[in-house]
Chain A
């Protein structure tokens, strides 16, 4: 037994975009790699886990071949927990993201899901690892929350048919913003420059790490961060007197955190 599979029982392979399956395959690989590293302290090669998509009558099956050392981790990660299994507290973030994607597909396409172990030499010999019903997928909680956010990045693209702005954050992530024409025209003036921008974000919360689903741009300004010592030199004239009044600065801030009277 050295193959593992994920079966979406009633999705025809033509119904589901390849990119969505690609994301799921990638997330499974990430979760297995992280879990293996966490338990063994060792990294694995890309070739240790190979993904294959197989087309079967009216269902979509993703198959994975794992190197012998990886089998236990590969089986553990692909055993999908039920919604009542305290997923947020019992599973690490990369596994949660993987399960979130599986449940999302299950819910969007109204399908039951199964994961199983199979023999590479004989596909028909299988051992069911988990079964998720349509009722289970309906129970998985997820929500979006609207809130005001301020972020920093570089404007990399403006305009198109719709008034849109794409901003690259310092970590490389890209936030796609929509906004009215005035704000988008203002953003155009900052193309390829660093900005501070704020607006209303819709953040998606479910099993995995929350992420920003959409962003309505409300304000954008040019921004340049000063190097540390230069920043301190500019701030100092406006706070040094107040800090100098503290006899014991360390004790003052410590007491502020202790919350004692």
Chain B
């Protein structure tokens, strides 16, 4: 049986990758970290769409230290992570998805989400779809609703879900939420 292929949205990766914990982010960060540990146990493959990579890379400044960090970050990715291109196939898929959410005839109300967000959503979703990802994990409810509409239209086969709750989560962590 082939490994489950998972795409993580930018915020999920961001929470797992940062050290600083803001009070408002604590539960989300814990949830993201626990989920990633669970993925390790389940033997999954992480797929990184280049659109998500762009958003992550935007946090680097022009300082020499940041430039070095960025190169090292990319070096780790190139060796250990499947990065999926935004190529002609993804562009075609994204355009079909975007148009399906843009006309109002598909049952999805375009007023539900700004055009620029829908553009990014569909670009990421198209990359996930072309990479044959099984799931895309995002904390963004609007993104999940858009993907649901595309799934109903048979245009999207990737399951877009929130970070799964961990049944083992400690009581004090739940209280903090």
Q: List A residues at the B interface (Cβ < 8 Å).
A: 34, 38, 88-89, 92-93, 145, 147-150, 152, 169-172, 196, 203, 205, 210, 223-232, 234-250, 252-253, 256-260
CB distance from B131 to the nearest CB of A (A): 9
Could you list 5 further interchain pairs (A-B, Cβ under 8 angstroms) beyond the known A205-B88, A242-B66, A245-B59? A203-B88, A225-B46, A229-B37, A238-B73, A257-B116
CB-based nearest A residue for B100: A89
Contacting pair A224 B11 (CB below 8 A): no
Contacting pair B81 A231 (CB below 8 A): yes
Contacting pair A256 B17 (CB below 8 A): no
- B128 near A: Cβ within 8 Å? no
B136-161 interface code vs A (CB 8 A; 1 in, 0 out):
00010000000000000011000000
CB-based nearest B residue for A88: B96
CB-based nearest B residue for A224: B80
Q: 8 shortest A-B CB distances, which residue pairs?
A: A259-B116, A243-B18, A228-B39, A238-B73, A244-B20, A226-B80, A171-B132, A242-B59
Please report the C-alpha to C-alpha distance between residue A248 and residue B20 in the assembled complex, in whole angstroms: 11
B1-44 interface code vs A (CB 8 A; 1 in, 0 out):
01101101011011111111010110010000100110110011
Please report the C-alpha to C-alpha distance between residue A172 and residue B3 in the assembled complex, in whole angstroms: 11
CB-based nearest A residue for B84: A150
Please report the C-alpha to C-alpha distance between residue A240 and residue B13 in the assembled complex, in whole angstroms: 11
CB-based nearest B residue for A250: B11
Contacting pair A253 B17 (CB below 8 A): no
Query: B interface, by DSSP: helix, strand, loop or mixed?
Result: helix
CB distance from A121 to the nearest CB of B (A): 36
Which of B15, B20, B82, B139 is within 8 Å of A225, CB to CB?
A: B82
Contacting pair B89 A231 (CB below 8 A): no
CB distance from A149 to the nearest CB of B (A): 6
Residues of B within 8 A of A228 (CB): 6, 8, 36, 39-40, 44, 46
CB distance from A27 to the nearest CB of B (A): 16
Assuming the contacts A229-B40, A232-B36, asked whether A240 and B19 have C-beta atoms less than 8 A apart, the reply is yes
Residues of A within 8 A of B81 (CB): 225-226, 231
Residues of B within 8 A of A148 (CB): 87
Residues of B within 8 A of A152 (CB): 82
- B169 near A: Cβ within 8 Å? no
Contacting pair B14 A253 (CB below 8 A): yes
Contacting pair A150 B85 (CB below 8 A): yes
Please report the C-alpha to C-alpha distance between residue A219 and residue B113 in the assembled complex, in whole angstroms: 41
CB-based nearest A residue for B56: A239
Contacting pair B3 A239 (CB below 8 A): no
Which of A227, A250, A260 is within 8 Å of B25, CB to CB?
A: A250
Which of B11, B44, B76, B154 is within 8 Å of A235, CB to CB?
A: B76
Which of A170, A234, A242, A257 is within 8 Å of B5, CB to CB?
A: A170
Assuming the contacts A145-B88, A170-B2, asked whether A239 and B154 have C-beta atoms less than 8 A apart, the reply is no
Residues of B within 8 A of A234 (CB): 76, 80
Please report the C-alpha to C-alpha distance between residue A28 and residue B117 in the assembled complex, in whole angstroms: 37
- B92 near A: Cβ within 8 Å? yes
Residues of B within 8 A of A238 (CB): 69-70, 72-73, 76
Residues of A within 8 A of B13 (CB): 232
